Structure 1
Amino acid sequence: MTFTAAPEHIDELGHVNNAVWITWVQDIAVAHWNAVAPQAQQDAYFWVVVRHEIDYRGNIGPGESVEAETFIPGTPSGARFDRCVEFRNRDGKVIVSAKTTWALLDRASGRLCRVPTDVAAPFVG
């Protein structure tokens, strides 16, 4: 996905605020889930973030864009699943990278549940 810094994304230092990067991490994660998971799984489960780790090696200013790529680095552990996101500037350099841990909840009960194999399968390679 491509994200472009709008005026409301810019902080007093003149670049994208840290909270905006977190929003973009969530936006691409949700888009990935919605694009890959069958509708029946989307109806049965939802994900919540339980941890963010973000490394900043650069930033962008107003009107500049980044290309974001997300991937799953491994298999789930119980209800938890790690996801990575890399944001590249126009030169292709990774300027922000994130590793987030998500937990799967059953929509009907609202409780944590172990990630079923069929839910994980399309995301792990």
Structure 2
Amino acid sequence: MKVFSENITVPKTAIDENGHVNNIIYLQWCIDTAEKHWFAKSPQHYQESHFWVVLEHTITYKNPAFEGEELLVETWVTVAEGVKSERHYKISRPKDGMVMVTAKTLWCFVELDTQRPARIPEEICRLFV
């Protein structure tokens, strides 16, 4: 499993009226981390000729997080076949190991010029799976 991760300090802007991180913010952090993973690992020519679109999100909220807490967002790809890829996420609090969110997203690989789904190249599969 090739895990990509980043640390986040929960900003005040992520907090909802209940005093903890808003659910949609967790999803945004997942998407942002997936994009950072793509741009960090994929060859430039694929970045310029292809992009990913979301087909489906599944997210499980386990525990709340609060302003100022340090969180770890981890992501990894489990499957890349045909035009689709399944990516998983875990958001946790490193100081005690508490998991806030687990999630997965089904992505579709798209050719920029045609705006149509494209088969995921073997080179990309090897880099991420």
What's the TM-score, normalizing by structure 1? 0.93
Partner of residue 114, structure 2: 109
Q: What root-mean-square deviation, in Å, do the aligned CA atoms of Structure 1 and Structure 2 show? A: 1.1
SS in 1 for 2:66: coil
| In the alignment, structure 1 residue 80 sits paired with structure 2 residue 84 | yes
Could you list the runs of 5+ residues in structure 1 that have no partner in the other structure? none
SS in 1 for 2:128: coil
| In the alignment, structure 1 residue 55 sits paired with structure 2 residue 60 | yes
Partner of residue 3, structure 2: none
Rounded Cα–Cα distance in structure 2 between residues aligned with 1:58 and 1:48: 28
Identity %: 36
Partner of residue 9, structure 1: 14
Higher strand share: 2
Runs of 4+ that moved beyond 4 A: none
How many matched pairs?
A: 123
Measured after TM superposition, the shift of residue 93 of structure 1 is 2.4
Partner of residue 38, structure 1: 43
